[in-house]
Each structure stands twice: as C-alpha cells, then as structure tokens.
Amino acid sequence: MTESNDRERIDASADDETVGRRTAVRRVATALGLTAGALVVPTMVGTAEAKPGDGLKVGGTTDALDAQTALKSASNASTLRIENSKSRSGPANDAVDIIAPQIQLASPVPSGSRPQVPDVTGMRSGDMAASGGMLFYGADIVPDAVTPVQVHSAAFSNYFQSIDPAKSVLFDSATLTADERASYTLGAFDTAGRLVPGQRIGIDARTLINTNSLPGRAALSTIVTASGGDTDGSVVVHLDQTSAGDFAITQFSVLPAAVTANGKPYAIVSSTGAVTALDADDKLWLSVTAATHVKVQVTGAIIADPSAIVEPADPPAGASDPAKRALLQRQAVRAMTDGLTPPK
C-alpha cells in the first residue's frame, strides 16, 4: 500500500457487523482494482486468499473469505468510478457505439440447479442483490427502516408507452375491405361486414409493437366501440385463440323495431376503455355475443421495454436531438436482441 493518499484505503474487517459481504461490492472492487494509490499491483494474476489489510489482485481474483471489503473516501467526487473502455461500432446504421459492461453482479451461484432469488432479509440501506433475473435495492424510504425494492427489469415489470393518435385505430370492421376481411378467420364476418357471434378473431398489434424478443406478454390500453348491431350483446376479450375464460369489455344495446319511428332496430353506440392483454404473438383476441361492428383504438401500450415500439428507421421531421438519440438507442437494442426467444 502506498502512503501518498491517506483518504482512500481498503478496509477488510472480520468484525461481526461487517460479516456477510455483498457479492456486488466485491465484484466492483475486483473489476476496478479500486483506485490508483490504494492498491498493490502485482505482476502475477490468479486467485488468492486475503487477510484483513491485504491488497486486491488487479486482473485476478481475491478471496476475502468471511470478511467484507469496504472502500472509504472523504472526497467530493464519487468514491468509486468504473470504466470499461472497450467499445465497438453498433447497429442503427452505424450511428451508435456499443459499450462493454462496466460491472457484474455474479449470478447464479455456481452449481445451483434450482430457481434462485436474492436474499432480501436484513438488507441494509444501499445494498444491492441480484439473482434469478431480479435486482433488489435496499431503500431507506422511511426513517430507521430499510425496504427491499425491486429495480425495474423487463423480466418482471412493464413500461407504459403512449401511442401516436394518428396510428391509434388498430381495427375497424366497418371500414375493412373484402381483402382485409379475408386475412381473418374464415366465417368471422357476416354479409354486412360485422363480426359473427361466437367467432374469435385475432387482431394483429404488430403495426404498433413487437415483443418477439422480449420476455412476458404485452397489453394495450384500448377504447372498444360497438355499433350497428341488431340485438343486445357484448364484446368479449380472450387470452388467446383457444384458452378458456373471457371477460366482456363493453356491452351494447339495440332498440327493437317495434319502438323506433322508422320501424327498424336502432343500435346505440357503446364505447368502453379497457386494458386488454395480448397473446405471445402480440394479437388481441376478441369475439361478440351478437353481430355488431367493432372498432378498437389504442391509447397506449404496456410493454417490457420501449424498444418494442414499432417506429420508422429515420427520426421524424422536427424531432429534437434527445428524441433522435433515443430513437437510435432503441433501434440498437432491437438489432442486438433480434432473434432472442425469451419465455412468454
């Protein structure tokens, strides 16, 4: 250890209150080798056991056994800085640089064959623990207490993305052409172009989103409108093409011919807002209990990651510089994850 910097040092202690070191801290220390002037930089690399007060092995592995490794400073700057200068030219028409990872929270524990989760019992303020795709942080939300909170992850949580109103109409049976109706299940429409009772149709949402390379299923915030029916009924949403179970998202009513001035049934237009789940292929499955026209508008998408949004390759005219940068970043993520098949 040098004596030129008396504000930064490594303090490995076996004190009971510091036992139970965090893998994250040790990995940070190992990856960085900590700060210059605080380490002995050996000429050899490898794994070594360390005693309290020993230095870390830069470029190698140090086994601190049952002691926590701590780094302390009294600087106005960050106590620890990690930089990985390895980068390569990325996708999005070569307009993005891909930076190698700066830190690894080691997981899963070697030889573990069962599902693993972070141990969140007894977490202290600022603790971080990762395993099984979950990342927890010890948050001091209230005084004298620490709450383990899960950090956003595309594997376990979702993101809401508003949809451009100009693209909001996902489906409208009243405006479909004969060729467009032919792309749906045979017999799904009557001669007036209305949905036939009891026939499920899958409405493709991949004009708006594509979650093919992301975990979990997406959902849409929708406005569903029913019109043009002859009898009362409901619009029903299904999980997919075949699964049992459903729920009615809007009910529509029709005044019978006997009570109207022209002697014809009068359909009362019915609109309802609902959050509707999509299947693994980003399709919205619905049916009706009585023949009617159905229109589906989308106000937002609930997705695992913003890169699921379908958008043009080039930024729209007038887009701000931050918006252009974000679009290029999403393009790069899409390119790098293309072909992945995570669980749905």
252-277: pLDDT as tens digits? 999 999 999 999 889 999 999 999 99
Across the chain, mean pLDDT equals 83
For residues 236 and 305, the model is more confident at: 236
Beta-strand runs (E) in 97-140: 97-99, 128-131, 134-139
Task: Report the pLDDT value the prediction gives residue 344, as an integer from 0 to 100.
Answer: 80
pTM of the model: 0.70
Query: Of 142, 143, 147, 115, nearest to 131 (Cα)?
Result: 115
For residues 138 and 6, the model is more confident at: 138
Fold exhibited by the domain 160-308: Jelly Rolls (2.60.120)
Q: How confident is the model at residue 230 (pLDDT cuts 50, 70, 90)?
A: very high
Q: Write out the two tokens for 173.
A: 């049976």
C-beta of residue 200 within 8 angstroms of C-beta of residue 283: no
- Residue intervals of the chain classified under CATH 2.60.120 are 160-308
Long-range Cβ contacts of 159-164 (<8 Å, 24+ apart): 159/302, 159/303, 159/304, 159/305, 159/306, 160/221, 160/300, 160/301, 160/302, 161/209, 161/300, 161/301, 161/302, 161/303, 161/306, 161/308, 161/309, 162/299, 162/300, 163/208, 163/298, 163/299, 163/300, 163/301
Q: Write out the two tokens for 122.
A: 């007894």
For residues 322 and 37, the model is more confident at: 322
